[in-house]
Structure 1
Amino acid sequence: MAFTLASATELLEEIKKSRFLTRAFPINSVEQAEEIIETVRKEEATHHCYAWKFHQNYRFNDDGEPTGTAGKPILNAIEGRNCDCVLVIVTRWFGGVKLGTGGLVRAYGGGAARALQNAELVELVDWQNLTFHCPFNLLPIIENEVQNFLAQIENRHFDDSGCELTLRLPKAEQQNFIDWLKDKSSGKILIDRENSHSDMSF
């Protein structure tokens, strides 16, 4: 089970005279993550270290801090909270006192972890689109039943013999719905799997 942020959040901390501002964002694409990073980088600060995770893709950057002391600890914090589709940027304003490698790991990774702990998380759902044709007599039954499978009707297209429906439903409910539909239609309704696709969102 994976989670993302309900909304952007931030946490400001002071550690041995350095200020650390942790900002965490929900992201809908890799491109969105890069756009946010470029915007934040325009702010004057000593370092803008970050990590993001978007499904199978991830990236982290130490932005001038010693290798392995910032970006990777931030990514570890994201993964430690079972988060996905999340970007975390930790901005540092150096206060004149060096923290050492261990101190940096604790500052960056700890700040990211605390920000995510304080954030409101929402479960990411793997949604599946299913398209099928049903006769007129079954349409009201299906329309009344879809909510029991946490499904939503995305599109209706009527023709002389009935209606082509496209549903959006959680992948975990897909087989249950197909079995129910097969039973209700006595096996006459076929699912168009070739036109189905999935996406992760909340």
Structure 2
Amino acid sequence: MTMPPAFRTPAAPATAETEVRRSRFLARLEPAETEADARAVIQAMRAAHPRARHRCTAFIVGEAPVIERSSDDGEPSGTAGRPILDVLHAAGLGRVVCVVTRYFGGVLLGTGGLARAYGDAADAAIAAARLVTMRWRDVIAVTVDYADVPAVQALAARRGWREVAADWAERATLRLALAGEEPSEASAGLADATAGRARVVPDGTRLVADAPDR
């Protein structure tokens, strides 16, 4: 399984709290590129809530293959981790980890009630998050004299290209993530903008964030 060509991820950590029959559910949603990143977040939440009865988790990380894991952390099987993971999928999220910490309120919720409570807590954290859409884009490396940099940046702004890196040496090299064009099309536009002085070479593909969804 590979990550889809576009998915959403949190731009920053987000939290939410819900309550069901006196049990408190504290949800934490964070970006995570790797399994190690996700497990570091989980460990931090365990350390932050040592007296909580359950810290249930789910994450979707990696690219090819995608790694998915969930944990019920002592709740009945399938009532916590899987509902959280299902909510992450339904929201189209990737490179993400969610930890829902439960402080037991003394009232049993039943398996259906637990699944709803954990899913609702994860949903609340997603609603509180600032999300960005990540897309695979073709990248080109554009090498120009410094005098041509403003023209290249102006063209990039008009066409929706994202500057993902820059090297400032004897000449400037800007790495630009394209917005759907072929590199050959971009090269033609850059040649016009710089009177043929730009050197343009393909530079692979890269996951690039769009502007935040909200």
Structure-1-length-normalised TM-score: 0.79
Determine if the alignment matches structure 1 residue 199 to structure 2 residue 211.
Answer: no
Partner amino acid, structure 1, of 2:21: K
> In structure 2, how many angstroms separate the alpha carbons of the residues matched to 1:143 and 1:115?
37
Structure 2 partner of 1:182: 188
Identity %: 28
Structure 2 partner of 1:103: 113
Structure 2 partner of 1:113: 123
Query: Paired residues, what number?
Result: 195
- Structure 1 residues 39, 151: closer, same or farther in 2, change over 3 A? closer
Task: Tell me if the contact between 2:29 and 2:97 (Cα under 8 Å) persists in the aligned partners.
Answer: yes
Structure 1 partner of 2:162: 151
Structure-2-length-normalised TM-score: 0.75
> In structure 1, how many angstroms separate the alpha carbons of the residues matched to 2:189 and 2:12?
41
Which of the two has higher C-alpha Rg?
1
Tell me the alpha carbon deviations over residues 43-101 of structure 1, each in whole angstroms, 9 at most, x when there is no partner: 22101001112242221111111111111110111111112222111111122222111
Superposition map of 1:117-132 within 5 A: 117-132=127-142
The 3-state SS of whatever aligns with 2:180 is: helix
Superposition map of 1:41-190 within 5 A: 41-42=46-47, 43-54=50-61, 55=63, 56-133=66-143, 141-149=151-159, 150-152=161-163, 154-158=166-170, 163=171, 165-170=173-178, 172-175=179-182, 178-182=184-188, 185=191
Superposition map of 1:21-36 within 5 A: 21-36=26-41
- Structure 1 residues 190, 26: closer, same or farther in 2, change over 3 A? same
Structure 2 alignment gaps of length 5 or more:
1-5
The 3-state SS of whatever aligns with 1:4 is: strand
